[in-house]
């Protein structure tokens, strides 16, 4: 027995001795929650933290299905198709003892719709939120909105009285120069209470003794100590040395090391995020290419040839070390509208691609600049480097321009890139969300992430019509039709679906959630 195993065994024994009734979970991740204000930042680590302390009306279980949380049932109103009626759970209290009722829901949703909120677009169709009685809430939308509840899975409920008493009615903003009380304090109905918080250093939560779901969920963790550890090597070292029990982002190159260590496990699941390339197909001429007076990307044959040239299996095996699922469409698999046939990645076909290039009038290819982030997605820059080599095989000389995300994303938003990498997650689990942001023509309200300059008014009106189509089978049919156009036009070049890797002590039992947002109340500690 080596010295290290001995130490591990010793520390394991010590932990078993200490932790019969009180179970502490030491949890680390690259980033910290930016704020505790539940409506200020719609961002992964921020809402993951909020989910421990606060709750939403409806939530998703591990499979992605909507399940009751603070609302016990919900349905469209029988009198008015524009209204959704939510029945609230009775007997729920906030951490400070205040009772949870419909007034809090009206307050919280209205707060989430104010201009400083990061969640207002998800509620853009909401006209009014009403409380007909103490435990009923009605949400009226501009027109019928069949997937309204899908938008509520990250809408956290605050206590109206607490917010008013602590001057936290307004979502935190950047102008006042004042600390918002809600940014550093929290009062929710959730399974854990805030004990202490030092931003970017440590957040400690303790189990809520009066939680309504005490008997419904395992709730075996009685204390959570959350520490952001930014440097990947340090994060893995902290797990290996037993200083933390659970890290959310194991770098792919360290997976074998962690999995091969006694007492540690890696658990893997597909993530709700697809990685793809976008192309400028709308402009008459490109600035970054070698073709004068013409836009080669405007020709669908060129786009198809580029897609055929990408060897997705090689990227999966070599760049991602097996940790990805090659993709054929830009939708994660759990999303309504996802289609197994469409997502079956198109097989690599260099000869076919060359033929298409010749047919389109570019037998000798052309050159083009690819803009790529280098700190946003897993191995993003390496994927782009691989693509450069693959596209060279059909004569397309790609100049790679990799930048930090803070410089990369403005290129897409300001339409300054002709060929770019982007990743997309779908919090509503419905294709409409993808279409609204990535397929609809770029404008004030829609298409804000569509950097392709693609504009198809007929398709646009179909996308807008989805929002109020209440006949669900007909709606699914329309979604399928829109996807067919997206695929035929080769609007994007899908690469793969990302995979999540959670590393943890062997005794920690949990299922990896596709949103990368662990809900500690489900964790079992053995």
Partner 1 sequence: MFAYIVRRMFQSVIVLLVVGLVAFSMFRFVGDPIDNMLGQERTQADIDRLRTELGLDQPFVVQYAKFLQGAVQGNFGVSYRQGRPVSTILVERAPATLELAFVSGFLAITMGIALGVFTAIRRQGIAANVIMTVSLIGVSLPTFLIGILLIYVFSVELDLLPSFGRGETVMIGSWSTGFLTASGLKALILPAITLGLYQMTLIMRLVRSEMLEVLRADYVRFARARGLSDRVINFRHALKNTLVPVITITGLQLGSIIAFAIITETVFQWPGVGLLFINAIQFVDIPVMAAYLMLISVMFVTINLIVDLLYYAIDPRLRVDARAT
Residues in touch with partner 1 (CB under 8 A): 3-4, 7, 11, 34-35, 37, 40-43, 115, 118-119, 121-122, 172-180, 183-184, 198-202, 227-231, 233-235, 237-238, 240-243, 375, 404-407, 409-410, 413, 425, 427, 437, 442-446, 448-449
CB 58 within 8 A of CB 427: no
CB of 398 to partner 1, least distance (A): 23
DSSP-based three-state secondary structure for 459:
helix
DSSP-based three-state secondary structure for 518:
coil
Of 91 and 176, which has the nearer Cβ to partner 1? 176
Of 98 and 232, which has the nearer Cβ to partner 1? 232
CB of 196 to partner 1, least distance (A): 12
- How far, in Å, CA of 105 to CA of 307, rounded? 47
Of 85 and 147, which has the nearer Cβ to partner 1? 147
CB of 346 to partner 1, least distance (A): 27
250: tokens are: 């194991």
Of 3 and 260, which has the nearer Cβ to partner 1? 3
- How far, in Å, CA of 429 to CA of 406, rounded? 27
CB of 403 to partner 1, least distance (A): 8
CB of 413 to partner 1, least distance (A): 7
Of 234 and 461, which has the nearer Cβ to partner 1? 234
Of 96 and 200, which has the nearer Cβ to partner 1? 200
CB of 395 to partner 1, least distance (A): 33
CB of 181 to partner 1, least distance (A): 11
What phi and psi, each to the nearest 5 degrees, are found at residue 142?
A: -55, -40
What phi and psi, each to the nearest 5 degrees, are found at residue 148?
A: -50, -50
Nearest residue to 24 via CA among 306, 223, 283:
223
Of 301 and 442, which has the nearer Cβ to partner 1? 442
CB 276 within 8 A of CB 421: yes
302: tokens are: 């060129």
Burial class (CB in 10 A: 0-12, 13-18, 19+), 190: buried
CB 274 within 8 A of CB 284: no
What phi and psi, each to the nearest 5 degrees, are found at residue 343?
A: -80, -15
- How far, in Å, CA of 471 to CA of 468, rounded? 9
- How far, in Å, CA of 276 to CA of 282, rounded? 18
CB of 441 to partner 1, least distance (A): 12
Of 238 and 315, which has the nearer Cβ to partner 1? 238
Of 321 and 445, which has the nearer Cβ to partner 1? 445
- How far, in Å, CA of 121 to CA of 446, rounded? 10
CB of 197 to partner 1, least distance (A): 12
- How far, in Å, CA of 144 to CA of 78, rounded? 12
SS3 letters across 163-203: HHHCCCCCCCCCCCCCCCHHHHCCCCCCCEEEEEEECCCEE
* C-alpha distances in Å from residue 222, one per residue of 26, 52, 189, 399: 11, 12, 16, 53
Of 131 and 415, which has the nearer Cβ to partner 1? 415
CB of 145 to partner 1, least distance (A): 15
Nearest residue to 54 via CA among 241, 199, 211:
211
């Amino acid at each position: 027995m080596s010295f290290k195993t001995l130490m591990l065994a010793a520390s394991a024994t010590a932990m078993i001795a200490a932790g019969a009734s009180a179970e502490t979970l030491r949890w680390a991740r690259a980033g910290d929650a930016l704020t505790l204000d539940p409506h200020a930042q719609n961002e992964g680590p921020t809402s993951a933290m909020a989910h421990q302390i606060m709750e939403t009306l409806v939530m998703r279980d591990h499979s992605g299905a909507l399940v009751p949380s603070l609302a016990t049932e919900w349905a469209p109103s029988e009198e008015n198709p524009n209204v959704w009626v939510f029945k609230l759970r009775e007997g729920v209290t906030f951490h400070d003892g205040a009772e949870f009722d419909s007034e809090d829901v009206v307050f919280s949703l209205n707060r989430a719709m104010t201009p400083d909120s990061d969640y207002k677009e998800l509620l853009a169709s909401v006209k009014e939120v009403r409380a007909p009685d103490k435990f009923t809430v009605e949400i009226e939308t501009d027109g019928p909105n069949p997937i309204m509840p899908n938008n509520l899975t990250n809408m956290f409920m605050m206590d109206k009285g607490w917010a008013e008493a602590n001057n936290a009615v307004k979502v935190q903003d950047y102008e006042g120069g004042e600390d918002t009380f809600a940014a550093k304090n929290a009062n929710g109905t959730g399974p854990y209470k805030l004990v202490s918080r030092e931003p970017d250093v440590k957040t400690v939560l303790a189990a809520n003794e009066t939680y309504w779901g005490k008997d419904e969920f395992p709730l075996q963790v009685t204390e959570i100590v959350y520490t952001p550890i930014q440097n990947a090597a340090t994060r893995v070292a902290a797990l290996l040395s037993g200083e933390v029990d659970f890290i959310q982002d194991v770098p792919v190159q360290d997976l074998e090391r962690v999995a091969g260590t006694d007492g540690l496990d890696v658990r893997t699941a597909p993530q709700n995020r697809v990685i793809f390339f976008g192309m400028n197909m709308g402009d008459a001429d490109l600035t970054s290419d070698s073709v004068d007076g013409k836009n080669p990307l405007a020709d669908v044959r060129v786009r198809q040839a580029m897609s055929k040239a990408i060897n997705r299996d090689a990227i999966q095996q070599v760049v991602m070390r097996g940790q990805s699922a090659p993709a054929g469409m830009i939708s994660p698999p759990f999303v309504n509208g996802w289609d197994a046939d469409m997502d079956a990645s198109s097989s690599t076909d260099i000869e076919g691609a060359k033929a298409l290039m010749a047919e389109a009038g570019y037998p000798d290819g052309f050159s083009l600049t690819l803009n790529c982030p280098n700190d946003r997605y897993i191995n993003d820059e390496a994927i782009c480097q691989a693509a450069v080599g693959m596209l060279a095989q059909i004569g397309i000389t790609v100049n790679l321009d990799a930048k930090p995300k803070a410089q990369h994303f403005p290129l897409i938003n300001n339409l300054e890139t002709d060929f770019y990498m982007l990743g997309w997650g779908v919090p509503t689990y419905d294709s409409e969300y993808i279409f609204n942001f990535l397929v609809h023509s770029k404008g004030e309200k829609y298409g804000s992430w569509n950097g392709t300059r693609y504009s198809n008014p007929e398709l646009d009106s179909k996308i807008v019509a989805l929002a109020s189509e209440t006949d669900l089978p007909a709606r699914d049919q329309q979604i399928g039709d829109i996807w067919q156009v997206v695929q035929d036009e080769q609007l994007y070049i899908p690469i793969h679906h990302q995979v999540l890797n959670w590393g943890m002590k062997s005794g920690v039992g949990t299922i990896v959630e596709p949103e990368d947002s662990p809900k500690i109340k489900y964790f079992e500690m053995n």
